[in-house]
Structure 1
């Protein structure tokens, strides 16, 4: 019985720590556009990142960015910069910042903020009749951001 109680306490502490590991969009700390800490507390999976990168209903990064490593993906775009060598040009923290909110690094970019829930400039309800209220759900969740970053870290020259 004592062992079960101890095991339960350890499991509860572990779950509480895991739940606290995720950083919500409103609590992200940027340093010169970079995010040094993992958003999810779990390492990214490059294979899952490729799915997010190439899926229209998720990140759809391939709509704007091309790279040799993604040449097998349909419809690579050329609106954004080519990502060949991205892992050589930017650190993991910088890539995490760019995916989360590129405007923190490149003020005039048209790249959407994928991990942001407030602070949007919106036309308002008078224009569309459908304007959402903040906080809005981010486009990607914390783990999806980490997965895309892990995928981008495979983009070597």
Structure 2
């Protein structure tokens, strides 16, 4: 990974560790089948309206790297793919796995693994051993991203 990408990843991880939202319960077990986690982590679908709020919140850092159909957001990222049409490209299960642990698809990704509790660098002490986002927050973001269709 290039030095600038490592630096960016460190900044994202540090920011998540210090500025993260509620998140942080114990991990619930999930099953990966192929490139998906087919079943919701909570057993029920998420709330797309809350998922949109989370995507736009600076604490989740989604829009730090991604851009999308968010005309009200002045500064959007350009380090990662535009989220417009995400619901066309991936199923809810594929989106879920990307949020849970993006490094399964690209070990050098700068995208945080939002539902892991180990392997992080420079994590705020209140978040050591805890996931960045809760299972419900993951499901809310999945529900929202699945609505983004062309």
State if a TM-score over 0.5 links the two structures.
Answer: yes
- Is the 8 Å Cα contact of residues 122 and 131 (structure 1) preserved in structure 2? no
Partner of 2:55: 53
Aligned 1:1-157 pairs, distance under 5 A: 25=27, 27-57=29-59, 59-67=60-68, 69-118=69-118, 120=119, 122=121, 132=125, 136-157=129-150
Unaligned runs of 5+ in 1: 1-22, 124-129
Unaligned runs of 5+ in 2: 1-24
- Is the 8 Å Cα contact of residues 96 and 145 (structure 1) preserved in structure 2? yes
The two structures, once aligned, show a CA RMSD in angstroms of 2.5
Alpha-carbon offset, residue 32 of structure 1: 3.1
- Is the 8 Å Cα contact of residues 36 and 95 (structure 2) preserved in structure 1? yes
Which structure has more relative contact order (CA 8 Å, sep 6+)? It is: 2
**What TM-score do the two structures reach when normalised by structure 1?**
0.70
Taking a change above 3 Å as real, the CA distance of residues 24 and 30 of structure 1, as seen in their structure-2 partners, is: farther
Aligned residues: 126
Partner of 2:5: none
Taking a change above 3 Å as real, the CA distance of residues 121 and 24 of structure 1, as seen in their structure-2 partners, is: closer
SS at match of 1:25: coil
Deviations 1:89-114 (A, max 9, x none): 11110001111111112222110011
Moved over 4 A (4+): 130-135
Taking a change above 3 Å as real, the CA distance of residues 114 and 63 of structure 1, as seen in their structure-2 partners, is: same
Could you say which structure has the larger radius of gyration?
A: 1
